[in-house]
């Protein structure tokens, strides 16, 4: 059974108010007020001194269980939103592996599900390890990206992207958190990067039902129902969307870990993993608790994973 051994996050020190970014991003003043009042988006964290390799290395080095176990890492998977990460001559993932002493691992990037690719990477890591049959082997999953490519810094009217990063060690079994159920639903009719006005409106209307469907599928595969969930670790797109989800499924909003939404914004695939590390640090997860990670990737994939802590 796929299990997480440890989850860690790295947060840039530089907080930037969304209002400061508004002129550069083309956000009208009235939208800045909407972001703050209704979406609970106030600021993001940026790392101008680090490139993508630097983000991955910083997140991986936050894992206490990686030091001294580099030789046990069989796979390194980068769960990424963006297919294009920089100049073609650069290979940030392989450079990060070399810096971390993981040159014996098979390294690959997973990006086909956009911001849901981090959950896909965990599922894939567990299946690869199970197929290998080595009970002592690890896979390292890395998430987090640079918000510096045109069109990648915000989703209009929805969220602003930040540069937090996360890393987790995965085993085929015997880890700290056991994966009980995983579901990913892809709706290819929303594949356009810039959809028509009609299709964008239809996506907005269907967003909550599609996310709820993936969450329901994952919970049922885990043999649970929503009342059994002690915590939801969301993607940090905004607070308003999660209020709608909770209203639909009858889950109290205080069971969704929204602490990082106003401070970090949406950190691509890293959100649920950053939230996991902070929830553990703050004592929001106790042994035996069931929790759900969720992610939505434009394109459009809605994914959810249920774990027992």
Please give the pLDDT value at position 253: 97
Which residue in 176, 172, 137 sits closest to 4, CA to CA? 176
Please give the pLDDT value at position 252: 97
What's the mean pLDDT when you consider all of the chain?
95
Please give the pLDDT value at position 194: 75
Mean pLDDT to the nearest integer, 97-102 = 97
What is the distance between the alpha carbons of residues 52 and 260, in angstroms, rounded to a whole number?
21
Q: Dump pLDDT digits (tens) for 161-195.
A: 999 999 999 999 887 899 999 999 999 999 876 77
Instruction: Name the pLDDT band for 95 (thresholds 50, 70, 90).
Output: very high
Please give the pLDDT value at position 197: 84
- Please say whether the beta carbons of 219 and 250 come within 8 A: no
- pTM for the whole structure: 0.96
Q: Is the pLDDT of residue 89 over 70?
A: no
Q: Dump pLDDT digits (tens) for 32-53.
A: 999 999 999 999 999 999 999 9
Mean pLDDT to the nearest integer, 89-102 = 92
Please give the pLDDT value at position 127: 97
30, exposed or middle or buried, with CB in 10 Å at 0-12, 13-18, 19+? Answer: exposed
Please give the pLDDT value at position 49: 95
Which domains, from first to last, does the chain contain? 3-171 (3.40.47.10), 177-308 (3.40.47.10)
Q: Is the pLDDT of residue 200 over 90?
A: no
């Amino acid at each position: 059974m796929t299990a997480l051994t440890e989850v860690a996050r790295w947060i840039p020190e530089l907080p930037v108010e969304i209002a400061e970014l508004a002129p550069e991003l083309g956000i009208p003043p009235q939208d800045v007020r909407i972001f703050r009042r209704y979406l609970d988006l106030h600021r993001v964290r940026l790392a101008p001194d680090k490139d993508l390799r630097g983000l991955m290395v910083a997140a991986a080095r936050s894992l206490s269980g990686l030091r001294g176990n580099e030789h046990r890492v069989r796979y390194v998977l980068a769960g990424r939103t963006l297919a294009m990460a920089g100049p073609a001559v650069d290979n940030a993932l392989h450079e990060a592996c070399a810096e971390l002493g993981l040159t014996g691992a098979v390294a690959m990037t997973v990006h086909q599900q956009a911001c849901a690719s981090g959950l896909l990477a965990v599922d894939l890591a567990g299946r690869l390890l199970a197929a290998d049959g080595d009970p002592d082997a690890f896979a390292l999953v890395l998430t987090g990206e640079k918000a510096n490519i045109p069109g990648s810094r915000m989703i209009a009217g929805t969220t602003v992207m930040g540069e937090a990063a996360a890393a987790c060690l995965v085993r085929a079994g015997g880890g700290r958190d056991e994966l009980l159920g995983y579901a990913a639903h892809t709706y290819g009719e929303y594949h356009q990067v810039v959809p028509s006005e009609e299709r964008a409106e239809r996506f907005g209307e269907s967003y909550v039902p599609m996310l709820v469907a993936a969450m329901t599928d994952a919970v049922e595969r885990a043999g649970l129902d929503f009342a059994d969930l002690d915590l939801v670790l969301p993607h940090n797109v905004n607070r308003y969307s999660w209020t709608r989800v909770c209203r639909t499924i009858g889950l109290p909003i205080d069971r969704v870990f929204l602490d990082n939404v106003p401070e970090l914004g949406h950190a691509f695939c890293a959100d649920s993993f950053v939230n996991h590390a902070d929830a553990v640090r703050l004592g929001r997860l106790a042994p035996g608790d069931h929790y759900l990670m969720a992610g939505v990737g434009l394109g459009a994939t809605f994914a959810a994973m249920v774990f027992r802590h």
